[in-house]
Amino acid sequence: MGGGEIGLKELSKLYSDAGGELKGFEKFGGELVVGYRITYEKKLTEADVAFFGLVSGDLNPIHFDEEVAAKTRFGGRVVHGMLTTSLVSAAVARLPGTVVLLEDGFKYLAPVRVGDTVRVEGVVSEKEKNRYRIEVKCLVGEKVVAEGYVKVLIW
């Protein structure tokens, strides 16, 4: 790294100190076949919303300004939809092998609030050589907040 850059270790400390939930990275085991199931969950914090907004450039007041957000149909601030579904990427990255995301598609069904724990559930629905389609849902409690699919390439 050149001058002025910050490493993953330093960023991890900043994120953790800001209240972010750091999760270890461990691969799932087993043979990847149609019917293979995955689950992953994470609590979304103020730090997640702030870091995601800064990285993505999405500083929409619906995510950051309670007064503005209170006047919307959501009645208050909500987590970025794409932050919620980014947890799908975290889940599929844990599949056995080296995973590359090729395609995704999501429908957002309900708002997620800061402090909610989002659980990703997925099932492999198609396999062609080393390409897989995985049907996924993001849930808060038992409520589906987003659903869709991803296609991945795995070596």
Q: What is the pLDDT of residue 5?
A: 79
Q: Which residues contact 50 (CB under 8 A, 6 or more apart)?
A: 18
118 assigned to some structural domain: yes
114 assigned to some structural domain: yes
66 assigned to some structural domain: no
Q: Report the 10 Å Cβ neighbour count for 87.
A: 21
| Number of domains composing the chain | 1
pLDDT in tens, 20-76: 999 989 999 999 999 999 999 999 999 999 999 999 999 999 999 999 999 999 999
4 assigned to some structural domain: no
12 assigned to some structural domain: no
Yes or no: say if 49 and 64 are a contact pair by the CB < 8 Å rule: yes
Amino acid identity for residue 81 in this structure: G
Mean pLDDT, the chain, rounded, equals: 95
Q: Which domain holds residue 97?
A: 27-43+81-154
Residue linked to tokens 């601030």: 77
133 assigned to some structural domain: yes
User: Given a cut of 70, is residue 128 above it in pLDDT?
Assistant: yes
Q: Give me the CATH number covering residue 98.
A: 3.10.129.10
132 assigned to some structural domain: yes
Q: What is the pLDDT of residue 3?
A: 57
Q: What is the pLDDT of residue 6?
A: 79
Q: Report the 10 Å Cβ neighbour count for 69.
A: 18
Which SS3 state, helix, strand or coil, does residue 139 take?
A: strand
Which SS3 state, helix, strand or coil, does residue 107 take?
A: strand
Cα–Cα distance measured from residue 68 to residue 110, given in angstroms and rounded to the nearest whole number: 19
Q: Which residues contact 72 (CB under 8 A, 6 or more apart)?
A: 62
1 assigned to some structural domain: no
pTM, two decimal places = 0.91
